[in-house]
Amino acid sequence: MWVAVVLAVVAVVAGWYFLLGPGGRVDVPPVAGQKAAAAQQILEQRGFTVEQVPTFSETVAKGVALGTDPSAGSSARKNGTVELKVSKGPERYAVPNVVKQTQDAATQALQAQHLTVGEVSQDWSETVPEGQVVSTNPKAGTSVKRDTAVNLVVSKGRQPVAVEDFTGQPADTATAALKKAGFTVDASKQQYDETVAKGSVISQNPNAGTGHKGDTITLVVSKGPPLVAVPNVVGKQLDDARSLLEADGFKVEVDKAFGGFFGTVRSSDPAGGTKAPKGSTVTLLVV
């Protein structure tokens, strides 16, 4: 008799546990497409404890339910936990700024953002040291999908530029050409020169080899022949005057008044005592 009573009690308790109590099972309702808060409320009304699991989705807007685990329609223990998968939106990562980093460091930075290294090319750069990243494609800050390949341009250093020699050429021409090549030009130094025309380049440093954009090329520019005092030859005979002038490096031209009968210098142009370029012409008026 007591055995029958015990069995009856056990049956009643078991029935309550599995049908009405914590052991009962409930169908999981469909909540996909609902806002996260609404989906959670529906599940909780069925007696479930809800754990939201943020999940990336390319098709479902952020904050909208993707589904559940256990899935909709399956039965789950009442008061049990149901995972509610909520969309985080598309899985995107910002391309990090790796300019002026080494290729190895850039690779690590990209991998940390779940991105990969694509094509690696090299180019000259005036601002980025050799071996460091000049640019990326896509650019830094661009939002891209996971595992997107990011192309790198790595610096070969500064580009060598051939230095052309402009010795003997007009300084203006030399300056313009050198600046066009990317050099800085210092043409402030000038000096007299008997062989290089005024305004032309006497010397250039450097005048050969290669340099880099921004390097300074120094030009020494001719002021023409040195200035020499014209000797005073007024009153002297033409031959004596010519000898004196030619000895000082001047050329001589003669204008004769009244046939230059006496052969005496009446005046000179430039006048005696003034300075004129060596090699220039002095005109004598002879009477």
Regarding whether 165 and 134 lie in a shared domain, the answer is no
Nearest partner of 226 among 191, 199, 255, judged by Cα: 191
Q: Mean of the pLDDT values across residues 8-32?
A: 63
Instruction: Check whether 196 has a pLDDT greater than 90.
Output: yes
Statement to judge: residues 83 and 11 lie in one domain = yes
The residue range of the domain holding 247 is: 227-286
* Residues 41 and 112 grouped into a single domain: no
Number of domains, the chain: 4
Give the pLDDT of residue 260.
78
204's enclosing H/E stretch is strand 201-205
**What is the predicted pLDDT for the residue at 159?**
95
- Residue 16's pLDDT band (boundaries 50, 70, 90)? very low
CA distances from 24 to 11, 20, 31, 70 (A): 15, 6, 21, 16
- pLDDT for 8 equals 46
Strand partners, 201: 221
Proportion of the chain above pLDDT 90, given as a percent: 86
Q: What is the CATH number of the domain that holds 279?
A: 3.30.10.20
Tokens of 229: 């005092």
* Rg (alpha carbons) of the chain, rounded to whole number: 49
For residue 31, pLDDT over 70 is answered with yes
**pLDDT exceeds cutoff 50 at 19:** no
Mean pLDDT of the chain: 92
* Nearest CA-CA partner of 142 in 98, 88, 105, 103: 98
In the prediction, which pLDDT does 246 show?
96
122-169 pLDDT, tens digit each: 999 999 999 999 999 999 999 999 999 999 999 999 999 999 999 999
Omega before 170 within 30 of 0, i.e. cis: no
Q: Model pTM?
A: 0.61
115: number of Cβ within 10 Å: 23
Rounded to an integer, what distance in angstroms lies between the CA atom of residue 242 and that of residue 238? 6
